[in-house]
Amino acid sequence: MSTCEDRPYQPIEAYALLSNCEGSALVARDGGIDWACLDRFDSDPSFARLLDRRRGGHFTIRPAGPFETARTYISRTNILQTIFTTPEGVVTLHDFMVASGEGHEQPGHEEQGRETERPRLVRLVTGVSGAVPMVALYRPLARFAETFAPLTVAETRVTAPDHPGLIADVAFAAEGEQAVARFTLGGGEARSFALYCTPLPDTMPDARALMEEARRAWTLWTRDAAYAGPLADELMRSALVLKGLTYQPSGAIVAAATTSLPEEIGGIRNWDYRFCWIRDACLSFYVLKKFGMVQEAEAFFGFVATLCQEAEDQLKPLYSIAGEDDLTEVTIGHFEGWRGSSPVRHGNKAAEQHQSDAYGQVLDLFYLYERLGGTLSQEMRLQGARLADISAQSWNRPDAGLWEPRKPEQRYLHAAIMNWVALDRAIRLFGERPDWCRERDRIVACVNGEGVHPDGYYPQYIGGADVDAALLIAPMVGFPVDEATFARTVDTIIERLGHGPLVYRYKNDDGLPGHEGTFLLCAFWLVDALLWLGRDEEARSRFAGLRALQNDVGLYAEEVAEDGTFLGNFPQAFSHLGFIHSALILDLHDHGGRDAVRGTYADRSLRETDARRAPIITGAA
């Protein structure tokens, strides 16, 4: 076994997610926690070996000698179990996170934590058979620092200023810049470790009791799932990922748990995704509601509604998980990046862009909320009408586009379609107004007129020739596409952007050097589009191919290389949203054919099948 200093970067698919719905961590197959933001998703990490294998910091528990691993999540939980098999015997490692205890509920909405001191992350390693020599290596790093702080090691306790504190029931010793514990586990023996963001307690907490509490909380939460079809277990895993990426204090959903995992190995397309995008707000709410994640759906709706009420002029494309829109992008210049992919970024400059599709996303969300029985407040109705006014006035102007290219703005067809959604939903919600009706009709005439390429497909932007997978969503939001033109668009996307079941977002110049991998959400959009066109066998084949791309514990990244390896930030909420959505659309098609998948998100949400009941709103906003 190589030393930690020689350990190569692990594949992105080698990681599993831990979460307590405030912060998160990633655990590699070899027992290394290589990424952890314990306070909240977008805080500075305590371990960042994911982004610099020598200076990033980690917390590893593994056998001292050679081993093989197998792992899984405990059923219907985000508790990870790793089984190490060695020549000397077998041990299991359980990893999980614990809610802070600062008045927040556990994932299953059980009674609030009563303890004032609770660990954020717990590791429990247990001997199964034989006698296995083990090693625990602890080397945290504070705030992307350039050097490691000296650790204070006092037998079972390891501390340093501005770092999480570690307590265990095995003794540590200082070895260079890290704390190391060496011990042997026989069958039935166990050792436990806990990380605290508060001062360490006098004694190690009962790790098994904490794990049972976490298990009960997660499994209680999963009881509300509204889907009982043949893919229930896989969809539940994706639902648990979405839950794990939800910041419980605000209801925001982060796009991913990481920053700066590259879209191209060695390239500069490395972005911070630990924020909440307005993009696909309605898709998020639809999936959460349709799958039975009722409280999460309504908390997310409340988060987006608050952002709309506080917006002074125009919506930002993304916000922090507490609602701030100042996400200043800085570069961590001394980090080399995963597999040498620099720069490493903290913050996201895309928050400064104007993406006009956001108005359609929000008004579609408002419309879905009301169709499901919710009541919009007067303030929200006024705000919705104001957003529609903005769409009516500005839909024909260039914008940055939803893919956030770093180049001059264009008249993107996706933006026009989403502005049509804004006006259409405003008319349905608030009644007809002459300018809304006029501009809604002008958008249809534009998209189906000058927007169509001479070869008969919808291009990325008016006057362009390149295709864009974003246009696959057009009929799913109810836009009146010309069916022949849309079918030609789908075929052109498959021809130019497809690779097996995978789909690139686009391939034309976006103002950045290099290129990116295929985008999983777009591949699921293609499944949906094919079902809308009635090409269900083709859709099912592609969906089966995408299912096969999950890693060993059922997680998806943002992108996939043509060889099937993961790229981009991980795990990616939009990929899991797309997977659940396509599964639900397939279920609808099974029971009602093409007619069942037509219309808007609101229309489809009210259609039930044998495997799924229609969602409802439990309260008013």
Q: What is the pLDDT of residue 596?
A: 96
List, for residues 544-560, the tens digit of each pLDDT value: 999 999 999 999 999 99
Q: Is the peptide bond before 571 cis (omega within 30 degrees of 0)?
A: yes
**Burial environment of residue 54 by CB neighbours within 10 A (0 to 12, 13 to 18, 19 or more):** exposed
List, for residues 169-227, the tens digit of each pLDDT value: 999 999 998 999 999 999 999 999 999 999 999 999 999 999 999 999 999 999 988 88
pLDDT tops 70 at residue 39: yes
CATH class for the domain made up of 12-205+212-221: mainly beta
Angstrom distances, CA of residue 399 to CA of 257, 358, 427, 456, 470: 28, 11, 24, 24, 15
Name the residue ranges covered by the structural domains of the chain.
12-205+212-221, 224-605
Q: How many CA atoms lie within 13 A of 63 on its CB side?
A: 24
Q: What is the pLDDT of residue 619?
A: 52
The Cα–Cα gap between 134 and 516 comes to 40
The Cα–Cα gap between 69 and 73 comes to 14
Q: What percent of the chain has pLDDT over 70?
A: 96
pLDDT tops 60 at residue 113: no
Q: What is the pLDDT of residue 488?
A: 98
Fold for 224-605, please state it. Answer: Glycosyltransferase (1.50.10)
Q: Is the peptide bond before 343 cis (omega within 30 degrees of 0)?
A: yes
Give the count of beta carbons closer than 10 Å to the beta carbon of residue 242.
Answer: 21
Q: Please, are residues 461 and 410 in contact by the beta-carbon 8 Å criterion?
A: yes
Q: What is the pLDDT of residue 509?
A: 86
Angstrom distances, CA of residue 215 to CA of 258, 293, 431: 25, 18, 48
Task: Provide the residue type at 164 as one letter.
Answer: P
Q: Which residues contact 281 (CB under 8 A, 6 or more apart)?
A: 300, 304, 361, 362, 364, 365
**Burial environment of residue 562 by CB neighbours within 10 A (0 to 12, 13 to 18, 19 or more):** exposed
Q: What is the pLDDT of residue 371?
A: 95
Q: Which of 479, 473, 374, 475 is nearest to 429 (CA)?
A: 374
Q: Which of 450, 444, 449, 495 is nearest to 469 (CA)?
A: 495
The Cα–Cα gap between 390 and 488 comes to 32
Q: What is the pLDDT of residue 230?
A: 86
Q: Which helix (H) or strand (E) holds 152?
A: strand 152-154
Q: What is the pLDDT of residue 292?
A: 87
Q: What is the pLDDT of residue 108?
A: 47
Please, which pLDDT band fits residue 620 given cuts at 50, 70 and 90? very low
Bridge partners of 277, per DSSP, are 318
Q: Which of 40, 9, 15 is nearest to 27 (CA)?
A: 15
Q: Please, are residues 414 and 354 in contact by the beta-carbon 8 Å criterion?
A: no
List, for residues 225-259, the tens digit of each pLDDT value: 888 888 999 999 999 999 999 999 999 999 999 99
Q: Which of 581, 459, 446 is nearest to 526 (CA)?
A: 581
Name the token pair of 371.
């169709």
Residue that wins the pLDDT comparison between 128 and 351: 128
Task: Provide the residue type at 599 as one letter.
Answer: G
Q: Please, are residues 478 and 424 in contact by the beta-carbon 8 Å criterion?
A: yes
pTM recorded for the entire structure? 0.95
Q: What is the DSSP letter of 562?
A: T
Q: Please, are residues 324 and 250 in contact by the beta-carbon 8 Å criterion?
A: no
What is the average pLDDT score of the chain? 93
pLDDT tops 80 at residue 38: yes
Name the token pair of 321.
């998980």
Residue that wins the pLDDT comparison between 404 and 547: 547
Q: Is 33 helix (H, G, I), strand (E, B) or coil?
A: strand
The sheet carrying 566-567 orders its strands as 518-519, 559-560, 566-567
Name the token pair of 526.
């293609």
Sign of CA dihedral 319, 323, 329, 333: negative
Q: What is the pLDDT of residue 352?
A: 84
Q: What is the pLDDT of residue 621?
A: 47
Give the count of beta carbons closer than 10 Å to the beta carbon of residue 169.
Answer: 15
Hey, which bits of 321-457 come out as E strands? 330-332, 344-346
Q: What is the pLDDT of residue 314?
A: 77
Q: Which residues contact 316 (CB under 8 A, 6 or more apart)?
A: 278, 325, 351, 352, 358
Q: Which residues contact 166 (CB under 8 A, 6 or more apart)?
A: 59, 138, 157, 158, 159, 172, 179, 193, 194, 195, 196, 200
Bridge partners of 85, per DSSP, are 68, 90
The dihedrals phi and psi of 108, each to the nearest 5 degrees, come to -85, 10
pLDDT tops 70 at residue 75: yes
As a whole number, mean pLDDT of residues 582-593 equals 95
Place of tokens 């100042």: 326
Please, which pLDDT band fits residue 380 given cuts at 50, 70 and 90? very high
Q: What is the dihedral of CA 238, 240, 241, 244, to 10 degrees?
A: 170
Question: HEC states along 220-248?
Answer: HHHCCCCECCCCHHHHHHHHHHHHHCEEC
Q: What is the pLDDT of residue 326?
A: 82
Q: Please, are residues 556 and 549 in contact by the beta-carbon 8 Å criterion?
A: yes
Q: What is the pLDDT of residue 576?
A: 97
Question: Would the CATH topology of 12-205+212-221 be identical to that of 224-605?
Answer: no
Q: How many CA atoms lie within 13 A of 108 on its CB side?
A: 18
The Cα–Cα gap between 109 and 99 comes to 11
pLDDT tops 60 at residue 49: yes
Name the token pair of 173.
């010793």
Sign of CA dihedral 529, 276, 603, 611: positive
The Cα–Cα gap between 431 and 322 comes to 33
pLDDT tops 80 at residue 136: yes
